A = this chain, B = another copy of it.
Amino acid sequence: MKDAALGYAQAQQAQALDDLLALVAIPSVSTSPAHQPDMARAAQWVADYCQRIGLHNVAVMPTALHPLVYAEWLEAGDDAFTLLLYGHYDVQPADPIEKWHTLPFEPTLKGENLFARGASDDKGQFLAVLKAVEAYLQTSGRLPINVKVFIEGEEEISSPSMGEFIKQHQTQLACDAILICDHPMLAADTPMMYYGVRGNCYMQITVRGPGQDLHSGLYGGAVDNPMNVLARLLAQIQDGITHRILIPGFYDRICDIDDEEKALLNDNLFVSADILKMQTGVPAEAGETGYTLAERLAVRPTFEVCGIGGGFTGEGKKTVIPAEAFAKLSMRLVPDQDPREIADLTQLYLSSRLPSTVTMEVEYLGGSHPVVVDYRHPAVQAAHQAYQQVYGKPAVLMRGGGSLPLMWDFQQILRAPIVMMGMGLPDDNLHSPNEKFFLPNYYRGTETIIHYFDLLAAQA
């Protein structure tokens, strides 16, 4: 049964690529109101595909915001292992569009890479998983385990309606484990599994002064400049030398890690300053004093200004004191920091630092809880073996730096372990111009999942 599925997957690679090309051509940017129709199109595409490969009870299910695609195949029996297959069909915005070498939503093949927004994050990865389902169903008419498919459309905006959705569909979604494929491998021949992810707290701060932009000569020296004030506020959030975050209470809930895990993190040869410099082009690494690079990426929180704007930003000079200035802030969180509490602490701190010469608005734009999973669980160990069978070596275990908002809800409500098997590469340009997916990972990803289903069935 497994061998037939593997044979099918190999024979059908051209079709698998065609399907992926069709899906990434849909600009399903969840954060943009203008792309609402594209969101609906992408959801429908996924549902049609699930129907086509023989899944049951396929449905585009409405949520408070973006619809979710559900499907299932439960004929392996009540005693069989039930795996929930998670993915997200929404993508990041393409800005800055002028930095793309090809158009973000006109997928372009260059050698073994497919360039398109969403190719790696996450359309290519969840489609690789569904291709494993297709391979079994099209060859044997059945799967070795039960599966439930859950492809959402809000991941890139922190999945605001998913918590409520999972709560309401708790019985329908009940499972023995949850599979998430939405992260990179360490290299094309080196698989990697996350056993945890950082959380996130995203805020927007606006500082307002005069009723409108003022002539900096006529009023300079008489009024406070919202942009000068904003720069000072931002500079007070983090120490410039130690990179410690200065918000009182910010570190209070952070859990220490044990020596075994510290060794696991630091023994990873793929986390190094040299690799980092090669990947990013930065002159030197930077981060919180007292922690290794591996620790800073996995088990330490961060503070980032993700966007800033105000005043005159065109070519040339304009001598104004701007009426207002804003910054978008993102903080990565680690267990057990709580995103709303961090937002509240930040607002309190900034308010206490705000001069009376301006006003400030602080908006919480969303967030996600940090999550950690027991890496010794059998469903995680089976994934290890699956990689071993395809790549000849087990996956490296790491905590992820990015955030998967839904993991918290899955963990809290479904109470099942989360298995994370990445198929991307570190240079996939996630959230950046020129996102791409290395196609051999797409095909080998499907093979790995075919093995994984088989190994899970053997465990049960």
Q: Which residues of A contact B (CB under 8 A)?
A: 31-33, 92-93, 95-96, 99, 157-158, 184, 197-198, 200, 202, 209-225, 227-232, 234-236, 238, 240, 276, 280-288, 293, 296-297, 300-322, 325-328, 330, 332, 355-359, 365-366, 400-403, 426, 429-434
Contact = CB atoms under 8 A, between A and B. Distances in A.
Contacts of A224: 282, 286
A402 B215 contact: yes
A225 B293 CA distance: 15
Nearest to A158: B317
Contacts of A300: 221
Given A212-B432, A280-B210, A283-B357, A332 B95 contact: no
26 contacts: A33-B315, A92-B318, A211-B282, A213-B432, A214-B431, A214-B432, A217-B332, A217-B402, A217-B403, A219-B280, A220-B330, A221-B296, A221-B297, A222-B285, A222-B293, A222-B297, A227-B306, A229-B240, A231-B308, A231-B327, A305-B311, A307-B320, A309-B309, A312-B328, A317-B330, A319-B330
A302 B228 CA distance: 11
A402 B220 CA distance: 8
B357 A286 contact: yes
Number of copies: 2
Contact of A401 (B221, B296, B328): B221
The winner among A238, A286, A317 for most chain B CB atoms within 10 A is A317
Q: Please give me the 8 A-B residue pairs with the lowest Cβ-Cβ distance, nearest first.
A: A217-B402, A211-B281, A235-B235, A31-B316, A307-B311, A221-B296, A224-B286, A231-B234
A330 B218 CA distance: 13
B216 A286 contact: no
Contacts of A283: 356-359
B312 A318 contact: no
Given A218-B402, A287-B222, A356-B283, A32 B211 contact: no
B227 A308 contact: yes
A227 B305 contact: yes
A307 B313 contact: yes
A305 B31 CA distance: 30
A307 B307 contact: no
A63 B217 CA distance: 26
A401 B218 CA distance: 5
Contacts of A332: 216-217, 220-221
B221 A357 contact: no
Contacts of A217: 197-198, 200, 332, 400-403
Contacts of A93: 312, 314, 316, 318
A310 B234 CA distance: 14
Nearest to A219: B280
Given A223-B285, A286-B222, A240 B234 contact: no
Contact of A99 (B212, B358, B402): B212
Nearest to A225: B304
A223 B276 contact: yes
Nearest to A303: B228
Nearest to A271: B222
Contact of A431 (B197, B284, B314, B320): B320
Contact of A304 (B31, B321, B434): B321
